[in-house]
Structure 1
Amino acid sequence: MTSSKGSTKNNETKTRESLKSKKLSINKNKVKPHKAKKWVHYKQKCRIPILMYHSISSGNALRVPPKQFEEEMAYLKANHYYTLSTDEAIRAFATNSLPQRKVVWITLDDAYKDNYTAAFPILMKYHLHATINYITGFDQKPNHLTLDDAKVMRHSGLVDFQSHTVQHLDLNELSTNVQMQELANSKKWLDTNLRQNTQMICYPAGRYNQTTIRLANHLGYKVGLTTNEGLASVDQGWYSLSRVRVAPGISQQTFATLLENGY
């Protein structure tokens, strides 16, 4: 008879082997991200739904179960939404143009491990792009994405990574010097390890102040995301963009309404 301890160890080994196999498969078969052929300029300011997710699991108000996440991604695909990358979202706001009328920017805060094990396969299945806001000081923390995980996801062409600071502290309660460290060091870590120019800062818990905005601009961030609810527009300010919170248990009709109205 196999002991429960031995059974648990075997299951953990199988899980690691499964993830390893999945990682190798993704590396060999890089998914080509969808590219819009022609952007259309609009007279009115673009208003874009920026979906806000966190953990793709269950347990509290910030966790959306995988089944619901897949149903929502399937809805986006079936209704022909174009999923923006960070660079494309910045272009949309800067030029007041869109690759097509129906667009959405999917964001996941905190970079939980289930973003890789649960959300990523769904994004791959429906060929949708998402942005993960990474807490760089948590890369070795249990239940969070490692740098290797991030590299695999980024290599797919369907995920980009942006800053969620180093330690996920309330920025509005920090001194100017500590805010600078949180913003600068997280950007440097992402720029160096992912060989990119990190363009966006997502404020932990949506907390920020005018010093945060000034420092973000000084460091080269182009946009800042809040937890203020609603569709995003540059009328709100480049560093004060609203998002659409996706709660667990909502209906598909509610999800459709959120995409249209932001609330």
Structure 2
Amino acid sequence: MKYLHEQDYYTVTPAEAYKILAQNKVPKKHKKLVMVTFDDGYENNYTAAYPLLKKYHIHATIGLITSKVDTQGMLTLKQVKEMKKSKWVSFVSHTQNHQELNRLDEAGQREEMQASRTWLKQDLHQKPDLLVYPVGRYNEVSPKVAKESGYKLDLTTKPGLANAEQGLYELHRQRVVPDMTQEVFAKLLQP
């Protein structure tokens, strides 16, 4: 987070990512853009990451497993609401139960996606437009089901920088691991 701040990266929200990728509306005053994402909604997103996000003015997007909110080791609804209110964190769908979508039929995928989207609408009073595929896995019907369920963007775990040529429902991401050096991290951000 410190590196992104010092290097003057602008951290985009899901809504901004959609405008950039679907409408080519890139914020003019910002030259370096990145979307910071966390998967699952672990409690350490609040205890460890959230203080750094505020300190360095970094916006992050958390893919929330909605059935895991208020369970051991995961974010509480109170923490989620506090972070959302701060404007430094957006919450998006990581499905209801974190089942690998490529192992589910179309109806099962639809249930996972729609139940999560409904929870985000009811409990966080927001219109969730972004879906993070659990474990990055999906199949040929997943993008169709996501679109029909109301999502505008989907993130995979395919390595690489996201771009519109990948399609809005199969966007790539760079994986950051705990022991990664700053030098390796910096290289991940290069086109």
TM-score category of the 2 structures, normalised to the smaller one: over 0.9
Residue 34 of structure 2: SS of its match in structure 1? strand
Q: Which residue of 2 aligns with 1:84?
A: 12
Q: Which residue of 1 aligns with 2:22?
A: 94
Once the two structures are TM-superposed, the CA of residue 97 in structure 1 deviates from its matched residue by 3.1
Quote the RMSD (CA, aligned, Å).
Answer: 0.9
Give percent identity, aligned residues only.
44
Residue 141 of structure 2: SS of its match in structure 1? helix
In structure 1, C-alpha distance between the alignment counterparts of 2:31 and 2:116, rounded to whole Å: 34
Please say if 1:107 is aligned against 2:37: yes
Q: Which residue of 2 aligns with 1:221?
A: 151
Q: Which residue of 1 aligns with 2:108?
A: 178
Asked if the contact 2:81–2:124 (Cα under 8 Å) also holds between the matched residues in 1, the reply is yes
Q: Which residue of 1 aligns with 2:53?
A: 123
Larger radius of gyration: 1
* TM-score relative to the length of structure 1: 0.70
In structure 1, C-alpha distance between the alignment counterparts of 2:98 and 2:22, rounded to whole Å: 28
Once the two structures are TM-superposed, the CA of residue 147 in structure 1 deviates from its matched residue by 1.3
- Gaps (5+ residues) in structure 1? 1-72
The one-character-per-residue Cα deviations of 1:180-227 (angstroms, maximum 9, x if unpaired) are 110000000001111111001100011111211111001110010000
Asked if the contact 2:22–2:168 (Cα under 8 Å) also holds between the matched residues in 1, the reply is no
Range moving further from structure 2, 122-131 or 140-149: 140-149
Aligned residues: 189
Q: Which residue of 2 aligns with 1:149?
A: 79
Structure 1's consecutive aligned runs of 4 or more residues displaced over 2 angstroms after TM superposition are none
Higher relative contact order (CA 8 A, sep 6+): 1
In structure 2, C-alpha distance between the alignment counterparts of 1:205 and 1:179, rounded to whole Å: 14
In structure 2, C-alpha distance between the alignment counterparts of 1:96 and 1:243, rounded to whole Å: 19
Q: Which residue of 2 aligns with 1:233?
A: 163
- Gaps (5+ residues) in structure 2? none
Q: Which residue of 1 aligns with 2:89?
A: 159
The one-character-per-residue Cα deviations of 1:46-76 (angstroms, maximum 9, x if unpaired) are xxxxxxxxxxxxxxxxxxxxxxxxxxx1111
In structure 2, C-alpha distance between the alignment counterparts of 1:227 and 1:206, rounded to whole Å: 5
* TM-score relative to the length of structure 2: 0.96
